[in-house]
Chain A
Amino acid sequence: MRERFRALDSRLLWVILALIALGTLTLYSAGRNTPAASIWLKQSLWNLIGLTLMLLLATVDPRRLFRYSFPSYLLGLVALAAVLVIGKKIGGATRWFLIAGQTFQPSELMKWVTLLYVSHRLGSKSADSVGRLELFGAVGLVVFPMLLIQRQPDLGMALSFLPILLLIPLMKGLRARWVVALLLLAGLGGFGAWKVVLKPYQKQRVLIFLDPSADLQGKGYQVNQSRIAIGSGGLIGKGFTSGSQTQLNFLPVKTTDFAFSVWAEERGFVGVLLVLGLFGLLLSRILDAAREAHTYAEAYFCAGAAGIFSLHLLVNVGMVAGALPNKGMVLPFFSAGGSSTLSFFLALGLIMGVLHRARVK
């Protein structure tokens, strides 16, 4: 047993532990002066559970997990359908199951299950490029849960499925004509959806998504406060628990979407460099895992995971700085939340398992 854990990838583990530590500090500071002062404790509990699951999963042969990917995918679809019917409605969206007082968001886990299954499908056939049926199959497998999630509605979550569709075929290899066909299909589909499927208020929502300044009252205010927090942090920051934007509550939703602004304000550009560097190392290591993987399915899963983590990083860190449209996408290890935390750790557990198997053979 001890032997099995000793072979774990320590580089990835250290990066993860460092990000957890910084994220917990950030949440401690963000929760002060708010009714949710103990949020860092609650998140630590999730982190602990997540870490445990991750380490347990890391010792499991990934090929055994791929075997369960199809039933898991079906179960996920059922869960997404069920949440639309019996889910709890919060703020106009039905995304959560209420289990023992805790909300659980099935779409967070479904993202990884979909990645798992698509990797499995495309990885099990060896060819130097993606076949026609394969491609359409993958598109269908990804788009179907996306549509279910968009029914909740949760456009940000639905879009975070896209790296799966983009990266795995790219890694496997795609003929030029399929790239053109895919782009055409996307264009036609988008046009058709705009003309026929979407209702006026949904179009409005898409427009706001494309141009957040149209919604200056709500989200525009939040991003503006976030930019002030980040910019006023300067080179070295205002000091731990000393950020005026954070502590005086000018910064909105600072324990979830805008947690990174808290860090940027209190730790400055130096702190930002540290965290972004750690994320860079994390992504590199995940891609290393893809390179060292023994099967294509594992490699595709790792590449897709890197894509999903990259998207979260880009959208969240870019959004709080006002550089990207404001769409709620959490930042792993920083934003508080049970479902997303557990899902990230499960994915990382699988990736560690890939590295583990590559090492022990």
Chain B
Amino acid sequence: MDPRQRPLLRRRLGAFKVMTWGLVAFLVLIYAWLQLVRYWEFKQLALQQAVKIRPIPAPRGLVLDRNGHRLVDNRRALHLVIQREDLPTRPEVVASLAAALQVDPAALTRKIQSYRLAGKGRPLVLKENLDEAGIAIAERIRARFPFLGVEVAPRRVYLGDELAGHVLGYVGEVDEPLMKAKPDLYRLGETIGKEGFEASGNDKLKGLDGQKRILVDQLGTEVANFGQEDATAGRSLYLTLDAGMQKIAQDAMGQEAGAVVVLDLRDGGVLAMYSSPSYDPNLFLNRLSQDMVDRYLANDLTRPMVNRPIQGIYAPGSTFKLLVALAALEKGIATPQTAIYCAGKKNYYGRDFRCDKPTGHGTLAMVQAIAQSCDVYFYDLAARMDVDDIHATAEKYGLTERTGIDLPQEKRTRIPSRAWKKKAVPKDPKWYAGETISVGIGQGAVGVTPLGLARFYALLATKGKLITPHLFYGYRDDQSNELQPAPTPAFKDTPLDPKHWATLDEGLAEVVRSGTAGANPFIREIASLVPFSGKTGTAQVATFVDKAHYARQAKKLKDHALFAGYAPREHPQIAFAVVVENAGFGSTAAAPIAAKLVKYWCLDRLANPLPPPRGRMVDPFAPQGPEAAE
């Protein structure tokens, strides 16, 4: 011990002590800053990450056909999942799980790793929408991998599969651009209708989302519920569609591409609307595989995503002759008795225009000209008129506007006029008289949607009523489960002269009785049971299908076959239009399809209707038996 240095050491230790209390004071200041000055700020941050407002999605309404058969159902789907805390880590476990699931072990490892980094709140989904076989496999391998779980989730089910893909559309998560454009209308992750009636009827089908305030932990797992507003389910609704008619249309079209539209003349409801090739909306609920993109979205050959009845623009061919005849009658340049000689072809403005029948029809009056579909007769009528006369008549009877059906992205029918050509072909704005001749038989620049064509024939069937085709039939009453019919969109009366109508009606009846369609024994047989009216059309292919492809395939460009009309002849109930692409003659390819529709609607539907659609999707919880589908 050195007494001299003792006071010095004491002084140094004293200074050290002061410094330690200074250190404590420094730390106290830091904590005062965080806990007293910035308390509110950090309190908000703590609340923000622990208290979440989670939406409770409202179940969408069901979609029923006019008879109450389910077309779109809400069911439960089973997913094979692993909860976050149960994720396997040992490579050999992952490998044997991959073997049991018959997936690539590397892919499974990647999936688990990316989920570990990003997934929150939800378990890892290994397999979506287990079917019956999938459930059996899952049960078997769960014995070996006890960490596997099965999660039940709601799922939209389209019971008809491809039956009415384009009409119903499908649902999906709202797109980010749309959500950003209308942030007060949509919330992130909301399910909305993407296509078809799911899209156009979205506001009708969607309910009111509820919400709950919950406490979540760092993994996003709900720890406590502070209270919630329940969701209000969307209302179920009826469509004017008749599932049986739709099925007939689907079966009749088979593998052919084209469109079928059947309208109810009582109210303008769409009884059937089939676009071929169709798609199964159920497939679009999952993440799209490359195969799906190739088969559907990027398929330029058959374009299965196009809803042909309202988006396909077809040359109407001879089905357009009725409008030309009407224009001529109204203009007074022809009467029903006007007779024109057909020699198989006729020269206009230095160019030969040929008739379908090379040997010529001889001398025909108007009704027979319609029945035999004589081109020369209508070349002549067109030659006596201006294209603007035809356009004016089309405009008068609503053919130039959209029908206004409650489906998204309907295309407009194109009836050419001088003004139209100026706008559409600025390089060659002049209208040539020869072009009017082609318009006379529904070729050239004329392009109609099958729905527009059906609507025109509905106008003929109703002696001049312009209907608004529609799919929405009414809501389902929540208590009685019965239809509450919605008000029918008003018919528009047109000044169709009954005398002119009688001529056209007679012509259309004669087509089936003795004309172009009557030559087909199948048509004759059905017409003998249910007399009906209609007009065949065989349109040269000008647009819509990729010509280059056919050229590559060295295939002949076959004509589109059309048939439009109404049934029964007396007191018509339905009007229809059928287009079969590249199928040849309207009388052989399109008219028989129409005849099957007529037969079902007027006869079979009443005696033995088709069963409601069942669908391929399995609901493991659904009650078994015949009532299951209802």
A268 at the interface (CB under 8 A from B): yes
Interface residues of B in 32-81 (CB under 8 A from A): 32, 34-36, 38-39, 41-43, 45-47, 49-50
Q: Are B13 and A232 in contact (CB under 8 A)?
A: no
Partner of B39, one of A128, A234, A287: A234
Chain A residues positioned under 8 Å from B49 (CB to CB): 228, 250
22 A-B Cβ contacts within 8 A?
A: A128-B4, A171-B12, A229-B46, A231-B34, A231-B42, A231-B45, A232-B42, A232-B43, A248-B50, A268-B35, A269-B31, A269-B35, A276-B24, A279-B24, A283-B17, A283-B21, A284-B17, A291-B9, A296-B1, A303-B16, A306-B16, A306-B20
User: Nearest 8 A-B pairs (CB), nearest first?
Assistant: A231-B42, A232-B46, A248-B217, A280-B24, A283-B20, A249-B218, A269-B35, A232-B42
Chain A residues positioned under 8 Å from B4 (CB to CB): 128
Chain A residues positioned under 8 Å from B618 (CB to CB): none
A264 at the interface (CB under 8 A from B): yes
CB distance from B236 to the nearest CB of A (A): 40
Kindly supply a per-residue 1/0 record for chain A positions 173-196, scoring 1 wherever the CB is within 8 Å of any chain B CB and 0 otherwise. Answer: 100000000000000000000000
Chain B residues positioned under 8 Å from A245 (CB to CB): 46, 50
A82 at the interface (CB under 8 A from B): no
Task: Other than A228-B49, A244-B46, A321-B27, give 17 A-B pairs with Cβ distance below 8 A.
Answer: A171-B16, A173-B8, A173-B12, A228-B46, A249-B217, A249-B219, A269-B35, A269-B36, A272-B35, A279-B24, A287-B17, A287-B20, A295-B1, A299-B13, A310-B20, A313-B23, A321-B30
CB distance from B12 to the nearest CB of A (A): 5
CB distance from B26 to the nearest CB of A (A): 8
Q: Considering the chains assembled together, what is the distance between the CA atoms of A323 and B5 in angstroms? A: 38
B283 at the interface (CB under 8 A from A): no
Chain B residues positioned under 8 Å from A332 (CB to CB): none
A126 at the interface (CB under 8 A from B): yes
B215 at the interface (CB under 8 A from A): yes
CB distance from A90 to the nearest CB of B (A): 16
Identify which of B34, B216, B219 gathers the most chain A CB atoms within 10 Å of its CB: B34
CB distance from A140 to the nearest CB of B (A): 24
A210 at the interface (CB under 8 A from B): no
Interface size class of A (residues with CB under 8 A): 35 or more
Chain A residues positioned under 8 Å from B218 (CB to CB): 248-250
B571 at the interface (CB under 8 A from A): no
Q: Considering the chains assembled together, what is the distance between the CA atoms of A11 and B59 in angstroms? A: 68
Q: Are A128 and B5 in contact (CB under 8 A)?
A: yes
Chain B residues positioned under 8 Å from A128 (CB to CB): 2, 4-5, 8
Q: Considering the chains assembled together, what is the distance between the CA atoms of A230 and B49 in angstroms? A: 15
With both beta carbons as reference points, the residue of chain A lying nearest to B28 in the complex is identified as A276
Q: Are B20 and A280 in contact (CB under 8 A)?
A: yes
A50 at the interface (CB under 8 A from B): no
- Given A232-B39, A321-B31, residue A303 in contact with residue B13 (CB < 8 A): yes
CB distance from B130 to the nearest CB of A (A): 31
Chain A residues positioned under 8 Å from B1 (CB to CB): 294-296
Q: Considering the chains assembled together, what is the distance between the CA atoms of A277 and B5 in angstroms? A: 31
Q: Are A244 and B50 in contact (CB under 8 A)?
A: yes
Q: Are A231 and B38 in contact (CB under 8 A)?
A: yes
Chain A residues positioned under 8 Å from B223 (CB to CB): 248
CB distance from B372 to the nearest CB of A (A): 81
Chain A residues positioned under 8 Å from B21 (CB to CB): 280, 283-284
Q: Are B215 and A248 in contact (CB under 8 A)?
A: yes
Interface size class of B (residues with CB under 8 A): 35 or more
With both beta carbons as reference points, the residue of chain A lying nearest to B2 in the complex is identified as A126
A137 at the interface (CB under 8 A from B): no
Interface residues of A in 266-296 (CB under 8 A from B): 268-269, 272-273, 276-277, 279-280, 283-284, 287, 290-291, 294-296
B10 at the interface (CB under 8 A from A): yes
- Given A248-B50, A249-B217, residue A269 in contact with residue B32 (CB < 8 A): yes
Chain B residues positioned under 8 Å from A283 (CB to CB): 17, 20-21, 24
Interface residues of A in 108-156 (CB under 8 A from B): 126, 128
Partner of A171, one of B13, B35, B47: B13
CB distance from A340 to the nearest CB of B (A): 20
Partner of A231, one of B9, B35, B217: B35
A314 at the interface (CB under 8 A from B): yes
Q: Are A287 and B13 in contact (CB under 8 A)?
A: yes
Q: Are A318 and B35 in contact (CB under 8 A)?
A: no
Q: Considering the chains assembled together, what is the distance between the CA atoms of A321 and B5 in angstroms? A: 40
CB distance from A84 to the nearest CB of B (A): 28
With both beta carbons as reference points, the residue of chain B lying nearest to A276 in the complex is identified as B24
Please count the residue pairs between chain A and chain B whose beta carbons lie under 8 angstroms apart in the complex.
133
Chain A residues positioned under 8 Å from B13 (CB to CB): 171, 287, 290-291, 299, 303
A317 at the interface (CB under 8 A from B): yes
Partner of A230, one of B26, B34, B216: B34
With both beta carbons as reference points, the residue of chain B lying nearest to A316 in the complex is identified as B27
Chain B residues positioned under 8 Å from A231 (CB to CB): 34-35, 38-39, 41-43, 45-46
Q: Considering the chains assembled together, what is the distance between the CA atoms of A170 and B9 in angstroms? A: 10
Chain B residues positioned under 8 Å from A248 (CB to CB): 50, 215-218, 223
CB distance from A260 to the nearest CB of B (A): 10
Q: Considering the chains assembled together, what is the distance between the CA atoms of A128 and B5 in angstroms? A: 6
Chain A residues positioned under 8 Å from B30 (CB to CB): 318, 321, 323
CB distance from B604 to the nearest CB of A (A): 64
Q: Considering the chains assembled together, what is the distance between the CA atoms of A110 and B12 in angstroms? A: 26
Identify which of B32, B35, B42, B216 gathers the most chain A CB atoms within 10 Å of its CB: B35
Partner of B34, one of A167, A280, A314, A321: A321
Q: Are A264 and B2 in contact (CB under 8 A)?
A: no
With both beta carbons as reference points, the residue of chain B lying nearest to A269 in the complex is identified as B35
Chain B residues positioned under 8 Å from A284 (CB to CB): 17, 20-21
Partner of A276, one of B27, B45, B46, B47: B27
Q: Considering the chains assembled together, what is the distance between the CA atoms of A323 and B216 in angstroms? A: 29
Q: Are A250 and B17 in contact (CB under 8 A)?
A: no
CB distance from B51 to the nearest CB of A (A): 9
CB distance from A121 to the nearest CB of B (A): 16
Q: Are A314 and B27 in contact (CB under 8 A)?
A: yes
With both beta carbons as reference points, the residue of chain A lying nearest to B31 in the complex is identified as A272
CB distance from B81 to the nearest CB of A (A): 21
CB distance from A13 to the nearest CB of B (A): 19
Q: Considering the chains assembled together, what is the distance between the CA atoms of A283 and B224 in angstroms? A: 44
With both beta carbons as reference points, the residue of chain A lying nearest to B34 in the complex is identified as A231
Identify which of B10, B12, B27, B215 gathers the most chain A CB atoms within 10 Å of its CB: B27
Q: Considering the chains assembled together, what is the distance between the CA atoms of A48 and B26 in angstroms? A: 32
A235 at the interface (CB under 8 A from B): yes
With both beta carbons as reference points, the residue of chain A lying nearest to B44 in the complex is identified as A232
Q: Are A228 and B45 in contact (CB under 8 A)?
A: yes
A227 at the interface (CB under 8 A from B): yes
A233 at the interface (CB under 8 A from B): yes
Q: Are B42 and A230 in contact (CB under 8 A)?
A: yes
Q: Considering the chains assembled together, what is the distance between the CA atoms of A295 and B36 in angstroms? A: 45
Q: Considering the chains assembled together, what is the distance between the CA atoms of A126 and B3 in angstroms? A: 11
Chain B residues positioned under 8 Å from A277 (CB to CB): 24
With both beta carbons as reference points, the residue of chain B lying nearest to A171 in the complex is identified as B12
Q: Considering the chains assembled together, what is the distance between the CA atoms of A314 and B30 in angstroms? A: 11
Q: Are B35 and A291 in contact (CB under 8 A)?
A: no
Partner of B35, one of A244, A264, A296, A306: A264
Q: Are A233 and B35 in contact (CB under 8 A)?
A: yes
Interface residues of A in 10-34 (CB under 8 A from B): 33
Q: Are B36 and A235 in contact (CB under 8 A)?
A: yes
